[in-house]
């Protein structure tokens, strides 16, 4: 393919953050695909860019991917934008990139603003060996939400997710109930006039969120958390017991099976099983 798809990061609030390379790219491509053409038109007009705009969002990404591919095959350069930040990072774009990558098309990033990296940079938490886990948004309710919250508090490294203002207090309270002393950083309206970066424990941030009416998009960063040490032999017992219990075995039968499998005293394994059931 002769054309190139440019993945262009746009400001997350402050228009002065837009790079010269991003502006030049939008001026030179044949067409710009945007998550919301009305939103992106304001950006293009601000910088005097008259390039045609077409929509590409979560409801039409599959169909638009074929259009983008056809444009590249004609030799046209194309740019992809989302409303703010970097496309395909918790925003539309991943599907079209996957399709074009599979067809050996040229896909080039024009880096720039990202709420994810901006929040990490001001949170002040060391990444360490456990790394950073980015989960976009917590599920809104039900067992999926409970499972995700449990996974977050079990992760020893840095965790980052976005949250809507009307759900912030509930999200922080759910996390604080399980891990009240974990350090965290709430970043609100990054790069905008009312930017706020608030640090504290999850319990402190939950109290703050419950006492106010937060406005604007938020990025939450949870610091690393030292989990209780479980000796390797106990971890092996726990994993085996968990599989047996999940399969529907009673505590007595699970303990018998695991004791035989790991060649351990049944009384030891049964006691561990009772402790796990009590903790759960």
Task: Locate the domains of the chain by residue range.
Answer: 4-113, 116-222, 232-279
| Closest C-alpha among 159, 162, 150, 145 to residue 214 | 162
Cα atoms found within 13 Å of the Cα of residue 250, Cβ hemisphere only: 2
> For domain 4-113, is the CATH number 3.40.50.2300?
no
The CATH architecture of the domain made up of 116-222 is 2-Layer Sandwich (3.30)
Q: What is the pTM assigned to this prediction?
A: 0.78
The reply to whether 116-222 shares the fold of 4-113 is no
Supply 100's token pair.
């074009």
Rounded Cα distance between 272 and 251, Å, is 10
Up-side HSE of residue 271: CA atoms within 13 Å toward CB?
A: 6
Token pair, residue 7, equals: 């993945």
Q: Can you tell me the distance from the alpha carbon of 145 to that of 166, in angstroms, rounded to the nearest whole number?
A: 16
User: CB–CB of 61/96 below 8 Å?
Assistant: yes
In tens digits, what is the pLDDT along the chain, a chain of 280 residues? 689 999 999 999 999 999 999 999 999 999 999 999 999 999 999 999 999 999 999 999 999 999 999 999 999 999 999 999 999 988 899 999 999 988 889 999 999 999 999 999 999 999 988 899 999 899 988 888 888 888 898 889 999 999 999 999 999 999 998 899 999 999 999 999 999 999 999 999 999 999 988 888 899 999 999 876 556 567 778 888 887 888 778 888 888 888 877 778 888 888 888 888 777 6
Tokens describing residue 56: 């590409």
**CB half-sphere exposure, 280, CA atoms < 13 A:** 12
- The whole-angstrom separation of Cα 14 and Cα 31 is 24
């Amino acid at each position: 393919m002769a054309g190139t798809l440019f993945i262009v990061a746009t400001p997350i609030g402050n228009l002065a953050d837009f790079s010269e390379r991003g502006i030049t790219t939008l001026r030179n491509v044949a067409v710009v695909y945007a998550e919301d053409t009305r939103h992106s038109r304001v950006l293009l007009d601000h910088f005097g860019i008259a390039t045609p705009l077409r929509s590409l969002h979560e409801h039409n990404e599959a169909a638009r991917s074929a259009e983008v591919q056809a444009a590249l095959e004609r030799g046209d350069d194309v740019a992809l934008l989302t409303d703010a930040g970097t496309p395909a990072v918790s925003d539309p774009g991943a599907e079209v990139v996957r399709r074009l990558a599979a067809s050996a098309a040229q896909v080039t990033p024009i880096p720039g603003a990202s709420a994810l990296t901006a929040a990490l940079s001001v949170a002040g938490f060391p990444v360490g060996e456990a790394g950073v886990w980015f989960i976009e948004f917590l599920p809104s309710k039900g067992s999926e939400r409970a499972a995700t919250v449990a996974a977050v508090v079990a992760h020893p490294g840095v965790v980052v997710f976005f949250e809507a203002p009307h759900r912030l207090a509930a999200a922080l309270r759910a996390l604080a109930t399980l891990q009240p002393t974990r350090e965290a950083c709430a970043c609100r309206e990054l790069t905008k006039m009312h930017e706020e970066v608030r640090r504290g424990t999850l319990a402190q941030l939950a109290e703050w969120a419950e006492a106010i009416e937060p406005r604007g998009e938020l990025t939450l960063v949870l610091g690393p958390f030292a989990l209780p040490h479980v000796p390797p032999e106990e971890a092996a017992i726990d994993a085996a017991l968990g599989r047996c219990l999940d399969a529907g075995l009673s505590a007595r039968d699970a303990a018998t099976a695991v004791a035989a499998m790991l060649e351990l005293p049944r009384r030891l394994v049964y006691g561990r099983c009772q402790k796990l059931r009590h903790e759960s």
